[in-house]
Amino acid sequence: MCGICGFLCAAPGENNTVIIKDMAATIRHRGNEASGFFLEAQMAFGHQRLSILDLDQRSNQPMISADKRFVITFNGEIYNYRELINRIDKGVLHTTSDTEVLLELWAKEGPACLQHLNGMFAFAIYDRHQKELYCVRDRLGVKPFYYWNDARNFVFASEAKSVLKHPVAKVKVNFSALSDYLSLGYITGETTIYAGINKLKPGHYLKVAGDKIQEHCYWNLSAKLAANEGLTADSIVDLLDSAVKYRLISDVPVGSFLSGGMDSASVTALAARYCPELQTFTIGFNERSFDESSAAAKLSAGLGLTNQVDFFQAPDLEFLQQLVRFFDQPFADTSALPFFQLCKNTSSRIKTVLCGDGGDELFAGYETRRADLFALKGFRSIPFWNRILQLGSGIMSMIPADRGKVSTHYKLRQFFEFAHLPPQQSHFSWRLLFNEKEKGALFSPAINEELASHNTWNVFAELFNKTGNLPILQQQAIVDLQSWLVDDILYKADQASMAHTLEVRAPFLDYRLVEAAFSIPEEHKFSAFKTKTLLRQKLADLVPTDVLKRKKEGFGSPVSIWLEGQLGRVFVDYIHDRQFREFFPDTEKIMTLYRDHCSRIRDNGYRLWGLFMFALWQKEWLNVKKSL
């Protein structure tokens, strides 16, 4: 696992060496064991290495192919690299790294080799003969790839902050991305908060030749589903087992994140079969309804494993500022806080860990899927459905909001507010923070003018349109994979772990398992009364019954409680900041949300947190170029 960066320029530059070194230094936290650079007249590659396979310096990057034609800077892991050796001339290899196998495979097969890769990766390969650059991102988007492109420069890196180190990149807010953030709490699609900096889509690669860029898709899940119709649910555990074994391949010890849920439990239990010295790592909360540490400790002990538990306290301003410094875009998922701390604690003991990310998306683990099913049945078949929802919404407005983890009050209000919409739009709306009208009331007139033709739903409508004629429940699951998973869950996992030079591996996101899971009809995976029914059944011989019977808890933080205390006073100070009010000038509207929250008229915790994290971000990042 590493950090990569580089650029192409139309003309040789005198400062290219300084620029590429500055870009690499900005992401040194991603890999602090070696720095490497490769420069020619109109290009430069940089690399920061975290050594996981072949720890010798011979595997440092950038790496040049045996025929001297290709150069690679690579971030990630190719888990099946040992099998791929059979596709190339073994005699050219001088290392035992996956990087060299990938490089020589590309030298032989070009982009066609991508079909054979099993791993998480983002890399750039430069063809020195043809003067062409290829940029690749893995199928699910586990590893990030950011880029800037104008008529004369193409700049890329593992993180946006590294791209910003290049003189051509500007710090200018993308208002469409800001609008999406205020709706979702994260920024989805190809855009970023920085106008001009984009994300390479998962399962795609770019070919950059001169001033021309071509984008190619090499993996499309919807297109793959028909080919997997012969798979049965019985293959699921075997594929997960294979995925875990692949992700235990390492020249350094591998640990495992462990909560009280079945995803991390199944990954850990399988890993323990092959690695009895496996260490497990857990984060706990003092707030009882948020804490799963005792369940994790019990499971770890039952497997004969050592469990390290640390407890997360309410964060202070310094912690939040550090988080925002590494998460260089506004991000409001409250699970980022404990996960950031978990990664910090874990990195002091180990360099790579397994996790359960992806299990909920593959096997219908979210409560939103049950809401989808209820809403679908009501929308299609229940008389006076809208009237029932209006009545329910009225009742909820009279009940004081509770403060549990994703409180019942919050979930019911979301359901009653959006279940009247068509199934695609209701699914989009379950996690909505602010709708278009509410955003318009908060934004400045100038921003609203810029956003006159923008609607966040349109981003999701396009994703739904690409799912074709698949059943609606399957459409919703695929759209989650292409939005929530990649731009929230995986963004969080990468930024938080690499901030502490820690590699995180997700067995559930093995593409073979993803294709198999999505070939199973969604209605077989869950019911209106229970999530993950299929996975619970298949894991019965692997995971303890008490774990399988537990309802999903999630990994969020008690921000609704924290905002009623000292952190709330910090929030109030930040929304009165002059620069913040350039975006959101009506402070009184925000204060009304805050007062309603504190008086428990409505749980506005997630909304307020979204505004708070933007306030922290703009304070940290909008003046970043002044320090260059």
Q: Is the pLDDT of residue 406 over 70?
A: no
Local structure of 47: helix, strand or coil: strand
**The predicted structure's pLDDT at residue 628:** 33
**The predicted structure's pLDDT at residue 403:** 58
**The predicted structure's pLDDT at residue 546:** 87
Which ranges in 145-261 belong to alpha helices (H)? 160-163, 175-184, 221-224, 235-246
pLDDT by residue (tens digit) across 235-293? 899 999 999 999 999 999 999 999 988 999 999 999 999 999 999 999 988 877 778 88
**The predicted structure's pLDDT at residue 407:** 65
Mean pLDDT of 69-73: 98
Task: Pick the range with the lowest mean pLDDT from 7-16, 196-205, 355-364, 382-391.
Answer: 382-391
Q: Is the pLDDT of residue 194 over 70?
A: yes
Query: What tokens appear for 25 in the block?
Result: 């230094």
As a whole-number percent, the residues of the chain with pLDDT over 90 amount to 75
pLDDT by residue (tens digit) across 209-247? 988 999 999 999 988 885 555 556 678 999 999 999 999
CA nearest to 280, candidates 290, 291, 293, 289: 293
**The predicted structure's pLDDT at residue 12:** 79
CA nearest to 544, candidates 314, 272, 183: 272
- Residue 357 CB-half CA count within 13 A: 26
Place 356 in a pLDDT band, splitting at 50, 70 and 90.
very high
Q: What length is written for the chain?
A: 628
Place 313 in a pLDDT band, splitting at 50, 70 and 90.
confident
**The predicted structure's pLDDT at residue 106:** 98
For residue 198, give the H/E element and its range: strand 197-199
**The predicted structure's pLDDT at residue 627:** 37
Mean pLDDT of the chain: 91
Residue pair 510/239 in contact by the 8 Å Cβ criterion = yes
Q: What share of the chain is helix, strand, coil (3-state, %, to 5)?
A: 50, 15, 35
Q: Is the pLDDT of residue 151 over 60?
A: yes
pLDDT by residue (tens digit) across 79-126? 999 999 999 998 899 999 999 999 999 999 999 999 999 999 999 999
Which positions ≥6 away from 514 have C-beta within 8 Å? Answer: 139, 140, 221, 358, 362, 481, 508
**The predicted structure's pLDDT at residue 308:** 94
Q: Is the pLDDT of residue 417 over 90?
A: no
**The predicted structure's pLDDT at residue 97:** 96
Question: Partners of 153 in the beta sheet?
Answer: 9
CA nearest to 407, candidates 315, 292, 290: 290
**The predicted structure's pLDDT at residue 595:** 96
CA angle (150, 152, 156) in 5-degree steps: 60
Mean pLDDT of 34-47: 96
Q: Is the pLDDT of residue 377 over 90?
A: no
**The predicted structure's pLDDT at residue 554:** 66
Place 404 in a pLDDT band, splitting at 50, 70 and 90.
low
CATH architecture of 2-219: 4-Layer Sandwich (3.60)
CA angle (286, 287, 293) in 5-degree steps: 60
Asked if the 224-364+481-549 domain carries CATH number 2.40.50.100, the reply is no
Name the residue ranges covered by the structural domains of the chain.
2-219, 224-364+481-549
Q: Which amino acid is at 437?
A: K
Please state the φ and ψ torsions of residue 375, each to the nearest 5 degrees.
-65, -40
**The predicted structure's pLDDT at residue 400:** 66
Q: Is the pLDDT of residue 519 over 70?
A: yes
pLDDT by residue (tens digit) across 549-597? 877 666 788 899 999 999 999 999 999 999 999 999 999 999 999 999 9
Place 412 in a pLDDT band, splitting at 50, 70 and 90.
confident
More confident residue, 209 or 397: 209
**The predicted structure's pLDDT at residue 373:** 82
More confident residue, 619 or 390: 619
